[in-house]
Structure 1
């Protein structure tokens, strides 16, 4: 009997459903509070307020959302690939020192070592298995590039709105990519993700969260690597 049949769909998918719900709730919260914030500024300047729909379809809201998304996908893209080749002794998120690399076909259960319930593309070898073997990192990288491109377009529109409001000439999209505003926005988001990932990697060596697979068992030695609680 499969997990959804044994536990019910909601219980078997509670993690993704919970975070999906939290994502929608916080996105709505951002939209509502953002509308209120913009309108507070417009009222103080003696300008008419904007509607909720006008705000959520504006470049200002778009660039804020896309900047957050692209930095998160960058975090996962780098972490997925970095943990193939780099280790952190004592971290539950790391392989043991000496196990760096893509590992053998036997260890990865691909080709002739695939099991009866292995994904279809794990068996045939060749380009299909090669692509599937890297599909998570490739998807995270593609999503990062797409959201970064969307962020640049929304940021460009917001930048030109400010340029026109201050009676300055707008710039082309290519021109905006060379502006300090674009790179300041990008690096501002990226550095926070690097800090978060690095902090998690080292804090998980010495601290515990009972019952979490992101943590080692409470009684595990600090030097134990790759264990989950």
Structure 2
């Protein structure tokens, strides 16, 4: 496979991967400037980029966004099995609500030569593979939420000590207002974005995008992309 073909065939993942890295670098520099501004306001010493990148302050800012994104996809993967939005290309039509038949899912006698190995294996391996996308998203959400809580309690306690307050335990931080404020401000934005996308895509179009219906499709048409 030529480099040009590889780039074409993987343009979506490579493009968003590049945007992710660029955004993370931007966040690092902007976060460092903000952190040092707060340090100066408190009369504390500023830090360099390397120290900031290994700090709990940077880690918690990154992790709290990651966990909300993976929560969004984890819930969406499972919710769209049973919930529908009439007219949205993000939704299945009413007639296909549920887990789908073996024919729909290309299982059992409907398998073909190119089917994934675990889909052909049967038993527990096929059962796990049939839920693998949601399970991985759930696992990544749990890990990033755990990372947020660990980095968060460290950052919170550093803030407390700098202001002569009392540090808290990890368990105490999990029920603190700081932890849930950080968590819920990300969750509410993710739920709003994904819900509004499902509704907007009923009535609005983006020509050529698989996230949109064909421009001339009726508003009530469901599960059709252009």
Q: Does 2:10 match 1:13?
A: yes
Give the conservation status (yes or no) of the 8 Å contact 1:160–1:171.
yes
Greater Cα offset, 109-118 or 79-88: 109-118
Mapped to 1, the partners of 2:199 and 2:3 lie a distance apart of 37
Mapped to 1, the partners of 2:179 and 2:158 lie a distance apart of 14
Report the alpha carbon displacement of residue 45 of structure 1 after superposing the two structures with TM: 4.3
What does residue 180 of structure 2 align with? 183
**Structure 1, gaps ≥5 residues long:** none
Look up the SS of the partner of 1:8 in the other structure: helix
**Structure 2, gaps ≥5 residues long:** none
Give the conservation status (yes or no) of the 8 Å contact 1:111–1:124.
no
TM-score, normalised by the number of residues in structure 2: 0.96
Report the alpha carbon displacement of residue 150 of structure 1 after superposing the two structures with TM: 0.3
Q: Does 2:179 match 1:193?
A: no
Root-mean-square deviation (CA), in Å?
1.4
- What is the CA deviation profile of residues 136-195 of structure 1, one whole-angstrom value per residue up to 9, with x for unaligned ones? 000000000000000000110011111111212211111111111111111111111000
What does residue 75 of structure 2 align with? 78
Look up the SS of the partner of 1:228 in the other structure: coil
Greater Cα offset, 34-43 or 105-114: 34-43
Report the alpha carbon displacement of residue 44 of structure 1 after superposing the two structures with TM: 4.3
| Residue 27 of structure 2, aligned match among 27, 30, 41 | 30
- What is the CA deviation profile of residues 186-210 of structure 1, one whole-angstrom value per residue up to 9, with x for unaligned ones? 1111111000000000000000000
- What is the CA deviation profile of residues 4-43 of structure 1, one whole-angstrom value per residue up to 9, with x for unaligned ones? 5696101110000000011000000000111112223333
Report the alpha carbon displacement of residue 110 of structure 1 after superposing the two structures with TM: 1.3
Q: How many residues align?
A: 226
| Residue 107 of structure 2, aligned match among 107, 110, 115 | 110
Look up the SS of the partner of 2:94 in the other structure: coil
TM-score, normalised by the number of residues in structure 1: 0.95
Residues 108 and 6 (structure 1 numbering): CA distance in 2 closer, same or farther, change over 3 Å? farther
